[in-house]
């Protein structure tokens, strides 16, 4: 009897286990069927999801792909650069300009990728000769076909080697004297003991069209149309030189009164450690008038930047020559030229040294020349701060005498030694393009 009882119990347990296996198998089949049905529905919806994702990416709202311009759509990047300068000189008859400490310039920089097609840039400069001034305000369209870019507004044109480089980023404390002579504008001389203060680089309103050539090396061609190159208004030395109180300001601007620029830039990577950059520029100002001007420049920059130790050792050697042909309210053409050359060598991560030499004929008088020799030691504890000591000798006496004769004033001291200490720092966002 006991044997039959145990047998019945075993049969009952066996049947229960079989039922569990059957139910489990049924559940597994149901799960697989539901999964296959869900996969089919996902496949049907995939084209629709892809289209939605594409729209989200274009609008900058896709959580996995946030376009860089979207984060700054309502809050453009903001940066401030402060540039403090201490100078001491043995210059005589120059009032208080020989020994002083100045906040030379503070730049407020705002820039933003407005949408996928254009960028905006505004730079407000404070200090210097003009107080508060909008130095740059431009729009750049990067969405054009055929590797074209269009810029319009007020900006530093892409000409010459250092024209686009702001004061705090120069290889030396000041713009080269030669560059100031051919690209800057001398202010009206109103007092004796003057020292030829001028705008150090060329900034204007207009438009530029740039084309990046599809070559294996970097080759860029830029053409521009600007309101003017030479400053000839009543508050300039130009008006004094041609002895016209009101200067030269055309009441009606036709195409002959614009300034046209063209430049070509090449960059060659010679090998992993050596590179060469070549810049050619031409400026044609009011080409068909008695105040026409043509200025050409050629620049070469060699750079040694070893991959293994570029942060600690590097060298840059740059040379630029200028050639100027200009009429001063007469058919006669005055031909002048000049050059500068500098070498900067990085000693280690913190320190670098440099030397510069210049020679140039005065733009207004081809018989007057000037020279400048200088050396500098830079200390850069980070990419956002630099302290630089520079010692230089200047001989611009012939320039000053020529300007004094034209303005009816007494020139200041044109031969002097000068010691400069520059301290510059960047707050907030600050970026630079390849140029």
Q: What is the DSSP string of 98-129?
A: SSEEEEEEEEEEEEEE-SSSEEEEEEEEESTT
Tens digit of each residue's pLDDT (9 = 90 or more) over 114-143: 888 999 999 999 886 667 889 999 999 998
- Binning pLDDT at 50, 70 and 90, where does residue 252 land? low
pLDDT at 66 over 50: no
Of the ranges 14-18, 283-287, 360-364, which one carries the lowest mean pLDDT score? 14-18
Q: How far separated are the first and last CA of the chain, in Å rounded?
A: 103
For range 248-253, the mean pLDDT: 64
User: Over the stretch 84-106, which tens digit does the pLDDT of each residue have?
Assistant: 999 999 887 655 557 889 899 99
Per-residue pLDDT band at 369 (split at 50, 70, 90)? very high
Q: What's the confidence (pLDDT) of residue 370?
A: 96
pLDDT for position 296 = 97
The share of the chain scoring above pLDDT 70, in percent, equals 79
Say if residue 416's pLDDT is above 70: yes
Mean pLDDT in residue range 150-177: 93
Mean pLDDT in the chain?
83
For the cut 70, the answer to whether the pLDDT of residue 187 exceeds it is yes
> In the predicted model, is pLDDT for residue 75 greater than 80?
no
How far is C-alpha 196 from the geometric centre of its chain's CA atoms? 27
List own/partner pairs for 392-397 with CB under 8 A and 24 or more apart.
392/356, 392/417, 392/418, 392/420, 393/417, 393/418, 394/177, 394/370, 394/418, 395/370, 395/371, 396/177, 396/196, 396/370
How confident is the model at residue 2, as a pLDDT?
A: 46
Q: What is the pLDDT of residue 36?
A: 65
- Which helix (H) or strand (E) segment holds residue 5: the answer is helix 2-59
Q: How confident is the model at residue 69 (pLDDT cuts 50, 70, 90)?
A: very low
For residue range 137-160, list pLDDT tens digits in order.
Answer: 999 999 899 999 999 999 999 999
Average pLDDT for 179-197: 84
Residue 62 has pLDDT above 50, yes or no: no
In this predicted model, which residue has the larger pLDDT, 31 or 351?
351
Confidence check: pLDDT of 57 > 50: yes
Q: Is the pLDDT of residue 20 over 60?
A: no
pTM for the predicted model, two decimal places: 0.81
pLDDT at 43 over 50: yes
Name the residue among 198, 199, 200, 167 with its Cα closest to residue 424: 167
């Amino acid at each position: 009897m006991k044997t039959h009882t145990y047998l019945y119990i075993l049969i009952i347990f066996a049947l229960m286990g079989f039922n569990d296996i059957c139910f489990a198998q049924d559940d597994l089949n149901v799960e697989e069927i539901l999964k296959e049905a869900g996969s089919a529905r996902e496949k049907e919806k995939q084209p629709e999801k892809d289209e939605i994702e594409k729209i989200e990416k274009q609008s900058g709202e896709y959580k996995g792909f946030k376009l860089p311009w979207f984060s700054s759509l309502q809050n453009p990047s903001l940066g401030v650069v402060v540039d403090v300068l201490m100078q001491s000189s043995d210059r005589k008859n120059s009032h208080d300009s020989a020994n002083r400490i100045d906040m030379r310039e503070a730049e407020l920089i705002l820039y933003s990728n407005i949408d996928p097609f254009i960028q905006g840039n505004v730079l407000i400069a404070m200090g210097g000769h003009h107080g508060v001034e909008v130095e740059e305000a431009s729009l750049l369209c990067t969405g054009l076909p055929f590797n074209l870019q269009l810029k319009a507004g007020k900006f530093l044109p892409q000409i010459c080697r250092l024209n686009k480089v702001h004061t705090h980023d120069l290889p030396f404390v000041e713009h080269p004297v030669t560059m100031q002579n051919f690209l800057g504008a001398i202010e009206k001389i109103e007092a004796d003991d003057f020292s030829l203060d001028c705008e150090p680089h060329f900034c204007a309103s207009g438009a530029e069209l740039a084309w990046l050539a599809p070559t294996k090396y970097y080759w860029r061609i830029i053409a521009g149309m600007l309101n003017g190159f030479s400053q000839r208004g009543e508050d300039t030395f130009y008006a004094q030189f041609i002895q016209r109180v009101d200067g030269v300001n055309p009441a009606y601007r036709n195409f002959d009164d614009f300034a046209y620029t063209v430049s070509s830039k090449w960059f060659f990577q010679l090998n992993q450690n050596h590179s060469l950059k070549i810049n050619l520029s031409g400026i044609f100002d009011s080409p068909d008038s008695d105040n026409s001007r043509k200025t050409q420049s050629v620049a070469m920059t060699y750079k040694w930047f070893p991959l293994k130790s570029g942060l600690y050792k590097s060298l840059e050697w740059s040379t630029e020559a200028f050639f100027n042909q200009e009429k001063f309210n007469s058919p006669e053409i005055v031909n002048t030229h000049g050059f500068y050359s500098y070498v900067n060598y990085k000693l280690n991560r913190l320190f670098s040294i440099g030397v510069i030499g210049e020679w140039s004929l005065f733009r207004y008088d081809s018989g007057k020349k000037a020279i400048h020799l200088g050396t500098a030691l830079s200390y850069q504890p980070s990419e956002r701060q630099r302290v630089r000591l520079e010692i230089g000798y200047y001989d611009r006496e012939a320039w000053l005498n020529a300007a004094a004769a034209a303005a009816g004033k007494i020139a200041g001291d044109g031969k002097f030694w000068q010691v400069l200490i520059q301290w510059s720092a960047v707050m907030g966002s600050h970026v630079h393009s390849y140029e």
